[in-house]
Amino acid sequence: MSDGEILVARKDAVIQVRLSGRATFMISKPLREYCLQALGDKVRHLIVDFSACISMDSTFMGVLTIIGLECRRRQATIVFVNTTPFLRDLLDGLGVTDMFQFTSEPVTEVTWQTLAVAAGQVTNMTQVADTVLEAHQALMNASPDNVPKFQSVVEMLTVEVNNSSVAVKFSHKLCG
């Protein structure tokens, strides 16, 4: 199970997210969009189950940081359930664990009966470059120790995103 998958369920003001496989940039954008929209739509509790998650990349952890900051801003709670020591160490290494609550309580199968797939495979990197950039900027803003880790990534992605925007604007001018 190398490809990551996100399953979500929503009941009233609570969202439950179950991560499976590798949580990477490929599934980051749909998670970010869904959670930020839901938080704007009166969701007050976000529960993320990591029991089937085997790893996370920096973009995914940056998206979790973005969601955590938005939860804090909206006075919503975000709880990580069943993080392995490995996953917790990854988050600790980026200095972002203080914005999340952690618990090892099991999530019962009954509450997951209405899960729906929230993310499909994204194959074009330009579709997610803005999310990757925003995620790494959030990690740098969350902890000064992350600046040297991700500065070159942010610089490269800024150029890529700006070039993509110019190409899109140019193609619109040619067509319009």
DSSP one-letter code for 110: G
Q: Are 90 and 61 in contact (CB under 8 A)?
A: yes
List the structure tokens of 159: 């150029």
> Phi and psi at residue 22, in whole multiples of 5°?
-90, 120
What is the predicted pLDDT for the residue at 105? Answer: 66
For the domain that residue 102 is a member of, what is the CATH number? 3.30.750.24
pLDDT above 80 for 101: yes
pLDDT above 50 for 81: yes
- How many domains, in total, are found in the chain? 1
pLDDT above 80 for 82: yes
Beta bridge partners of 64: none
pLDDT above 90 for 71: yes
- Do the bridges between strand 116-117 and strand 5-11 make them parallel or antiparallel, or are there none, so unpaired? antiparallel
Dump pLDDT digits (tens) for 108-153: 543 443 333 333 333 345 556 778 888 888 999 999 999 999 888 8
Host domain of residue 148: 5-175
Q: Please list, in sequence order, all residues whose beta carbon lies within 8 angstroms of the beta carbon of residue 115, skipping any fewer than 6 positions away.
A: 7, 8, 9, 18
Tokens 């979500």 belong to residue: 8
Dump pLDDT digits (tens) for 23-54: 999 899 999 999 999 999 989 999 898 989 99
Q: Are 133 and 36 in contact (CB under 8 A)?
A: no
Beta bridge partners of 81: 49, 103
Q: Which pTM value belongs to this model?
A: 0.72
Closest by CA position to 101, among listed 93, 91, 109, 111? 91
Dump pLDDT digits (tens) for 153-165: 888 878 877 776 4
CA distance 120 to 80: 23
Q: Are 141 and 96 in contact (CB under 8 A)?
A: no
List the structure tokens of 33: 């969009």
